């Protein structure tokens, strides 16, 4: 499988190069040159397949022969060593729980798969030290830090916005040490992301550090997110109805990966991109005008993104045809008060505890059902509620349990370097 740059389709790249470099030389995101549908026999056998085999069949065309079958299956097995349960909440509403991994967030899947792939290529080709430079609005940092911790030949540098991630999220990315360094930025996530992109454009930095990104702009972080749509479908297929997914959306890599799963033939009826007050895509689907704006802080902080990087991949999937996009994607936006009300309502009615991101996904699904009452849907619970403990407990009026793995992290000392601007980031990377 080759990949082209979304800035220059004449530029072609192998999977290995796309993983190691992260971005094309023109700084465009990589996109697969071809997506071939999976055979009907795969979907017939899907309900009885082990989840690692499901993932292997889904991803193998995107990797090709660049990672041997046995090694690729090993990477997948290490990536998916936890469950992805679909839980019935009420009526035709389900939730896909993606928080059963080591950092209790959906990003464990992409981070672990990328760590395995990048680690394989570094060892195989002796490419030398690689620096994974990543911006986080919440859960990416912890997942990347955990996934790459101790991987030989890789340094990890994580930028996060000061005071705009939860206490648990901050602890997860600032307490590991070893080959992981956390940089605390005095600004919003968009500034962190802009600084990372600027570093990739800086020839002086590139001359002394081999940079790659572990944000979902990297194909090895982005594509594995399609795994859990397949795993969810095999749990819901017996419903015998059209299935829709409501995806809490920030940088839009997650929902875009689901759309790739659909392109592979997975029978998903529709996608809902559920946004918080950062409603760039909601407004685009209403007006046809794409107008990025500065992000605003919300209680669902992992989605506080005003210019989602992966939306260009969605545009490519649908040939930049506005009508095609609207046919496959609906988007709604909700403020913090409505989100809290949903958390409270669902807990009182069903006993199910949602985190703020899952609550936004639930709201989007409920709104979609107003016009599509006979369909079955799942909203994605992207993080364990304990990662937003104060917000959740305030909403439901009850204390929630903290897993032992999180209790251990809370007792560790935060270690982060304060950075004010790009000049200080550059100085750090050149040191």
Return the SS3 of 90.
strand
Residue 239: both structure tokens together: 């419903």
| Phi and psi, residue 270, nearest 5° | -165, 160
Residue 203: both structure tokens together: 């020839």
Residues 246/254, Cβ–Cβ less than 8 Å: no
Closest CA to 227 of 366, 106, 127: 106
Spot the catalytic one: 107, 171, 197, 340: 107
Dist. CA 163–CA 184, nearest whole Å:
9
- Residue for token pair 């950062």: 278
Dist. CA 403–CA 187, nearest whole Å:
30
What are the C-alpha distances in Å from 259 to residues 65, 128, 245, 264, 414?
24, 35, 10, 9, 38
Residues 160/144, Cβ–Cβ less than 8 Å: no
Q: How many CA atoms lie within 13 A of 202 on its CB side?
A: 20
| Phi and psi, residue 210, nearest 5° | -90, 105
| Phi and psi, residue 217, nearest 5° | -65, -25
- Residue for token pair 């930049």: 320
Strand segments, DSSP code E, in 310-415 are: 329-333, 376-381
CB crowding 177-210: b at 16 or more within 10 Å, else e: eebbbbbbbebbbbbbbbbbbebbebeebeeebb
Dist. CA 261–CA 223, nearest whole Å:
9
Is 9 catalytic? The answer is no
| Active-site residue list | 107
């Amino acid at each position: 499988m080759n990949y082209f740059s979304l800035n220059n389709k004449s530029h072609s790249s192998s999977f290995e190069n796309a993983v190691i470099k992260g971005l094309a030389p023109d700084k465009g995101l990589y996109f697969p040159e071809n997506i071939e549908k999976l055979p009907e026999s795969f979907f017939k056998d899907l309900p009885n397949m082990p989840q690692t085999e499901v993932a292997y069949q889904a991803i193998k065309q995107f990797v090709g022969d660049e990672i041997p079958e046995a090694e690729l299956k090993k990477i997948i097995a290490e990536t998916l060593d936890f469950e992805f349960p679909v839980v019935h909440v009420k009526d035709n509403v389900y939730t896909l729980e993606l928080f059963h991994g080591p950092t209790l967030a959906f990003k464990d899947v992409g981070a672990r798969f990328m760590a395995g792939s990048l680690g394989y290529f570094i060892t195989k080709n002796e490419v030398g030290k690689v620096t994974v430079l990543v911006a986080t609005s919440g859960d990416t940092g912890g997942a990347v830090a955990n996934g790459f911790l101790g991987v030989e030949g890789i340094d990890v540098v994580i930028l996060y916005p000061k005071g705009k991630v939860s206490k648990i999220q901050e602890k997860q990315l600032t307490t590991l040490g070893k080959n992981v360094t956390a940089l605390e930025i005095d600004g919003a996530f968009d500034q962190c992301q802009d600084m990372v992109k600027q570093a990739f454009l800086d020839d002086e930095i590139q001359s002394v550090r081999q940079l790659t990104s572990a944000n979902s702009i990297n194909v090895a972080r982005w594509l594995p997110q399609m795994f859990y749509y397949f795993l969810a479908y095999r749990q819901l297929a017996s419903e015998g109805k059209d299935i829709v997914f409501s995806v809490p959306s920030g940088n839009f890599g997650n929902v875009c990966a689901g759309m790739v799963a659909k392109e592979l033939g997975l029978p998903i009826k529709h996608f809902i991109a559920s946004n918080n007050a950062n409603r760039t895509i909601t407004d685009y689907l209403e007006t046809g005008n794409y107008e990025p704006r500065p992000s605003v802080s919300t209680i669902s902080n992992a989605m506080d993104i005003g210019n989602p990087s992966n939306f260009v991949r969605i545009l490519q999937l649908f040939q930049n045809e506005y009508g095609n996009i609207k046919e496959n994607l609906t988007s709604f936006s909700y403020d913090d008060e409505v989100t809290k009300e949903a958390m409270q309502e669902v807990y009182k009615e069903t006993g199910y505890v949602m985190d703020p991101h899952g609550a936004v996904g639930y709201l989007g699904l409920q709104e979609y059902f107003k016009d599509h009452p006979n369909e079955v849907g799942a909203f994605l619970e992207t993080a364990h509620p304990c990662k937003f403990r104060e917000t959740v407990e305030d909403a439901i009026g009850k204390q929630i349990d903290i897993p032992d793995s999180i209790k251990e992290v809370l007792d560790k000392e935060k270690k982060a370097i304060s950075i004010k601007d790009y000049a200080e980031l550059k100085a750090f990377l050149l040191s």
